[in-house]
Chain A
Amino acid sequence: MPALVRLFKPAVFAAAAVPGVLLGLKAWRGDLGVDPVTTLLHTSGRDALLLLLSALSVTPIRRLTGWNRIQRVRRMLGLWAFAYALAHLSMYLVFNQLCYSIETCEFAAIWDDVVKRKFIFAGMLAFVILLALALTSTTGWIRRLGRNWARLHRFVYVAGASAIVHFIWKEKSDYSEPLQWGAALALLLGLRLVFAVRKWLGVRRAASRATA
């Protein structure tokens, strides 16, 4: 049993790497379809969302099952989500905005995209939040920020919602896929709301008992 426990974290790490490895293998075999850029952009975006939702599942699973060990992989999953989001953004910057060198990079067009196109804005907002959370995910920053660390990291909910909105606004007419992802996110956030309400009711009951 202790061996299994020791293997838990590496196993989750390996599982989180699978989508990226699969995409890399496909690229290496020239198996990305007739338009590789579309496949790369769409797949990396989906993978980022998958890892973000995985990270957001940790707390509800822990609360529902009482399996506390799962908490140990939360930071790792969050960092994987950031890594996939970074890959996704990099592809946009290199392929769409020619940022394979400083001279060719279309900085003005990127700025234009961010301020004028709500779909890019939503995606960029999600990325910037994930970046801030990744930078402050170290033990040192957790200590330094104290109570504010948890407050700051609650912005992951905003990042998740922005990513879904980015996906919805990207679509031209068929919103079924992003809405399914959105439903999954809503479930994960809804569970937290249920936990919070129950906790609040519990505190009130305890308080009224104390005053009685």
Chain B
Amino acid sequence: MLTKSKQVWEMPWSEITPEGVYRSRREFLQMAAVGSAGLAAGSVLAGCEARPEAAQAPLAFTKNQAYAVADPLNTFEEVTNFNNFYEFGTAKDDPARYASALTTKPWTVKVGGRVAKPGNYTYDDLVKPQTLEERVYRLRCVEAWSAVIPWIGFPLADLIKRVEPTSAAKYVAFTTLLRPNEMRGQRTGALDWPYVEGLRLDEAMHPLTLATVGLYGKELPNQNGAPIRIVVPWKYGFKSIKSIVSIEFVEKEPPTAWNIANPPEYGFYSNVNPERDHPRWSQRRERRLGGFLANIPTVKFNGYGDQVASLYAGMDLIKYY
């Protein structure tokens, strides 16, 4: 009889590096580094500074080997402490600092527009029927840095099929939560709130487009777009809208937040494209988050061209940037 031993990749990330252990180990080392003289003061400070780390619940998922990346992963600490989520402030560490104010339970997503089954769906309505999978994707930010992240989610196409868009639906418009009392950045004019994004229906239905509810084996931390976001790995990061409360199926290209803010810099498509410079910087190279040198050549469609280039056959991607 064959005994099936558990593969390494079947092990959830939380088992490999229990985060609490990792964290307390770091805190211990930091405290030790304070030195004996300052030890008492150090522990008091550590007590004050310790963030109320919302313990992210672990998720049950399978690892999808079809979506692996050769490069090493960015650490949990990196991907949760360097975020563009202007709802919580424009500094990269603002989201990690302030997103704990957001309550994500209960959570409802309004599905509307050209669909047979519109309605207000709870988080459980949307996620419970799905089998969650882990996929490692490259994320390329429009600011010329990139990261490698193990996301957990399910194909957005599965969700879309369930709500049955009609033949009139050509685009999908997404909206982020608007709640200024919990999202301090929304009390400023950094962008027109709420944040809106959109995809062509075929882009939204593409197997790579992931409805995402977790990373590193656990529920999404608030600063990464809890409780549900999308990840569109061949487009610049800002297309992967976070903390979604509305999905609307529409006939015309919907407005998108960064395009409203600055049309020449951020187009509707915003496919990763080293040939189309951002007006303020080149997109030919990128720097991996946490790394020092911008020495990684940026690849068209962020390296997913074999899967998505056909979506844009015959299109001038410099004109439709």
Write the residues of chain A forming the contact surface with B, with a CB cutoff of 8 angstroms. 29, 33-38, 94-98, 100, 104, 109, 112-113, 116-120, 169-174, 176
Complex interface residues of chain B between 45 and 86 (CB less than 8 A to chain A) = 75, 77-78, 81-82, 86
Q: Considering the complex, give the chain B residue whose CB is closest to the CB of A118.
A: B280
Q: Are B190 and A174 in contact (CB under 8 A)?
A: yes
- Chain A nearest CB: distance from B290 CB in Å? 6
- Chain A nearest CB: distance from B184 CB in Å? 13
Q: Are A173 and B262 in contact (CB under 8 A)?
A: yes
Q: Does B35 contact A (CB under 8 A)?
A: no
**Given known A-B contacts A98-B294, A173-B190, A35 and B280 have beta carbons under 8 A apart:** no
**Given known A-B contacts A112-B282, A173-B86, A173-B262, A34 and B290 have beta carbons under 8 A apart:** yes
Chain B: interface residue total (CB-CB under 8 A)? 32
Q: Are A173 and B191 in contact (CB under 8 A)?
A: yes
**Given known A-B contacts A34-B290, A95-B292, A96-B294, A119 and B280 have beta carbons under 8 A apart:** yes
Main secondary structure of the interface of B (DSSP, over half): loop
**Given known A-B contacts A95-B287, A95-B292, A173 and B81 have beta carbons under 8 A apart:** no
Q: Which residues of A contact B191 (CB under 8 A)?
A: 173
25 pairs, A vs B, C-beta closer than 8 Å: A29-B33, A33-B92, A33-B93, A34-B81, A35-B92, A35-B289, A37-B292, A38-B92, A96-B287, A100-B293, A109-B282, A113-B281, A113-B282, A116-B277, A117-B279, A119-B280, A120-B280, A172-B265, A173-B86, A173-B190, A173-B191, A173-B262, A174-B90, A174-B188, A174-B190
Cα distance A34–B92 when bound, in Å?
10
Q: Are A98 and B295 in contact (CB under 8 A)?
A: yes
Cα distance A194–B145 when bound, in Å?
46
Write the residues of chain B forming the contact surface with A, with a CB cutoff of 8 angstroms. 33, 75, 77-78, 81-82, 86, 90, 92-93, 145, 188, 190-191, 261-262, 265, 277, 279-282, 284-285, 287, 289-295
Could you say which of B86, B279, B280 has the most chain A C-beta atoms within 10 Å of its C-beta? B280
Q: Which residues of A contact B277 (CB under 8 A)?
A: 116
Q: Which residues of B contact A116 (CB under 8 A)?
A: 277
